[in-house]
Chain A
């Protein structure tokens, strides 16, 4: 019987003690893995949002509400629509320093018989768009034809199916990669399809017209600034030049999201650190109690030929096995809690949230396991050291 098999027997035959230590370490692994998974998902969501908002400036209708609506639409997938006259696009293009101006028009479908699903429909000008098309190109290499739509990953429609919007049949030709933002719940089409859908919506009583005689409307203009121009200056010029519209730097929008994300990350990180310290303290106490309870047993082991180092090895092996089992249980529990509730977490946080890929998750799992085993080892090392220094002769005399 070596230290390993003795440790296994000790763990199996003292199930209460083993379960308590395993549970403690499982709780630690759960918090470390669960917390880092949430933080990592938020960071990935922000990166995804950055790449989806490839514009320097977004021009929106000039109501205070519209920017809020736009952010909600972008982050939480709330459906909504706001419009400005299409002439705003020309005004944007007239401003010096504007390299590309790509319009988008929004339309919210209804939760009614005329629509298969309640989604945000986003129409884009395929000739100028530099925001949505690169994303669509990842899944669909051709241009969107009339009445073709590309759907976000959370829209319940598969490629080849028909999606009914305001009693118009749209053909799903692509399903887009996830972004972790509200864009995943939207449907994308070209401007001709959008105009068709706007007309259909008009017939159902959903008006997109700003005034009764306005012909064409758009919801937003994505602007790319020419190299060498100051984006803030161009933004100011746009605000001065384009009537009834507000130009917003995407960075300021991202900064707000980033600040919120930093706040959440900080809170989660603090929680992880608190749990880490708490677990270390509890484990230190648990191992100290265990050491006190098992003093005589360890003295007997010394008596029958176990060296100090052998004793340390036994305690550390027991702790490592407990931590390893606890770590795996905790990681499994965290996965069972976090993955099924991804949508709920995303909704509650109101921030872009994109679950990491398998490789990152494996790395996070390994990290959580490493931290758990390290804490177990640190806590037990102290107990092992104390035990190994105890005089076995004196211990054997106690309570003899």
Chain B
């Protein structure tokens, strides 16, 4: 499913120099095609994560619209937008994203269960195995390293089986081998399953997996 950003921008109202606001993302348009892996690179503080959050329905743009197919995300009431996010948009956020009271397996199964479309346990275990953390299925997140938690978040999105995958530095805490594993899995998700995959990363090596690469600095896309 195509994910489109139409003249979206994000301004935070705070005094910076002459202006009364800080423009984290300057007006931009973007179309993410199904079956392709799009990479977004750039320096820290360039607006990459803000853009990803706006694309995922987590952060309302100051201006512009985000369309998933024919649906204007921010025109939906919260309950519908949340349901859509649970069913069709999988997000791998930066940093820890685990519910500490649940096991790794329960965390991975959570999105489907919350939106009433539970995934099979075998599917969850398959992705945990594929990401080489199958042995941690019954562990609690507190016992996992940063890299293992990143892979758990990726397994959660893959088990959720959404149309769109938005990943914010999914390889941030990973070693080279794990980075290659994750990127190849995301590439397969795009190429073999027709998913729309958008990855924010600092890894130059990730370019070889991408169908398209954008760069973002100072809130502008190039």
- A residues engaging B (CB < 8 A)? 1-2, 6, 9-10, 13-14, 296-297, 300-310, 391-394, 396-397, 399-400
Contacts and interface: CB of A to CB of B under 8 A. Distances in A.
Contacts of B100: 297
A336 to B, nearest CB: 32
A306 B113 CA distance: 10
A396 B86 CA distance: 17
B123 interface: no
Given A396-B93, A400-B95, A305 B87 contact: yes
B93 A303 contact: yes
A305 B101 contact: no
B115 A305 contact: yes
A1 B108 CA distance: 12
Closest 8 CB pairs of A and B: A305-B86, A400-B95, A400-B94, A393-B53, A307-B82, A1-B113, A304-B111, A13-B101
A397 B59 CA distance: 12
B68 interface: no
Contacts of A296: 96-97
A391 to B, nearest CB: 7
Contact of B82 (A305, A393, A397): A305
How many chain B residues sit at the interface, stated as a range, is 35 or more
Nearest to A398: B95
A301 B113 CA distance: 12
Interface in B93-113: 93-102, 106, 109-111, 113
26 contacts: A1-B106, A1-B114, A2-B114, A6-B114, A14-B101, A296-B96, A296-B97, A300-B97, A300-B98, A302-B58, A303-B85, A305-B83, A305-B111, A305-B114, A305-B115, A307-B79, A307-B82, A307-B83, A309-B78, A393-B49, A396-B53, A396-B95, A396-B97, A397-B49, A399-B96, A400-B94
A313 B100 CA distance: 19
Contact of A301 (B94, B96, B99): B99
Interface in B167-183: none
A302 B82 contact: yes
A302 B113 CA distance: 13
Interface of B: 49-50, 53, 56, 58-59, 78-79, 81-83, 85-87, 91, 93-102, 106, 109-111, 113-115, 140, 156, 160
A399 B86 contact: no
Contacts of B102: 6, 9, 13
A303 B86 CA distance: 8
What DSSP secondary structure best describes chain A's contact surface? Answer: helix
Question: Most chain-A Cβ atoms within 10 A of its Cβ — which of B87, B111, B114?
Answer: B114
B95 A399 contact: yes
B173 to A, nearest CB: 11
A304 B160 contact: yes
Contacts of A393: 49-50, 53, 56, 58-59
A303 B58 contact: yes
A236 to B, nearest CB: 77
A306 B101 contact: no
B95 A306 contact: no
B42 to A, nearest CB: 16
Contacts of B109: 1
B94 A397 contact: yes
Nearest to B100: A297
A304 B110 contact: yes
B59 A391 contact: yes
B114 A396 contact: no
Given A1-B114, A305-B111, 13 more contacts: A301-B114, A304-B85, A304-B160, A306-B82, A306-B114, A307-B79, A308-B79, A309-B78, A310-B79, A391-B58, A396-B53, A397-B94, A400-B94
